[in-house]
Amino acid sequence: MYLPKPMVEPFMAYLHRSIDASEQATKTVNELDELVETGFRGSEVELVQSMLAELSKIEKDTDNMQIALRATLRTLEKDLPPVDVMFLYKILDWTGDLADAAEKVGSRLQLMLAK
């Protein structure tokens, strides 16, 4: 199985953006100890909220990239083996799941800030 040539560059950008989401979630979680020290108040809360907003933006980017990749794959389906197409769609889903999981971490942290 291989990635069709028209999808290679957009897929790599999609993959890197999904990894960016995980890295942003990690940075946000690493600020948790600072939040505890400040009692979930002050400038630290604002910093974490801006980090969470960036995480949300990254995840939205990955959603849009996935939509574009799926559209590209849809146009290429007729020229590819059906099993390869099925697995390519799964790979797109799994890569998107990485960003989705990172956003869930951010959402849980945001709930902690709200309380």
Give per-residue pLDDT as tens, 51-83: 999 999 999 999 999 999 999 999 999 999 999
Q: What pLDDT score does 25 carry? A: 93
Kindly report the CATH number assigned to the domain that includes residue 21: 1.20.58.220
> By residue range, what is the domain housing residue 87?
5-114
Q: What pLDDT score does 112 carry? A: 80
Of residues 43 and 61, the one with the higher pLDDT is 61
Express each pLDDT in 5-15 by its tens digit. Answer: 999 999 999 99
Q: How far is CA 17 from CA 33, 44, 45, 76, in A?
A: 26, 26, 25, 23
- Phi and psi (nearest 5°) for 95? -65, -40
pLDDT category at 32 given cuts 50, 70, 90 is confident
Q: How far is CA 103 from CA 10, 80, 81, in A?
A: 21, 33, 34
Closest CA relative to residue 98, chosen from 14, 4, 39, 9 = 14
Q: Residue 2: enclosing H or E segment and its boundaries? A: none
- Quickly list H helices, the chain: 5-30, 32-37, 43-76, 82-114
pLDDT cut 90: percent of the chain above it:
70
Q: What pLDDT score does 115 carry? A: 67
- Distance of alpha carbon 64 from alpha carbon 52, whole angstroms: 19
Q: Give the number of domains in the chain.
A: 1
The amino acid sitting at 98 is: L
Q: What pLDDT score does 45 carry? A: 82
Q: What pLDDT score does 44 carry? A: 79
Closest CA relative to residue 84, chosen from 18, 92, 95 = 92
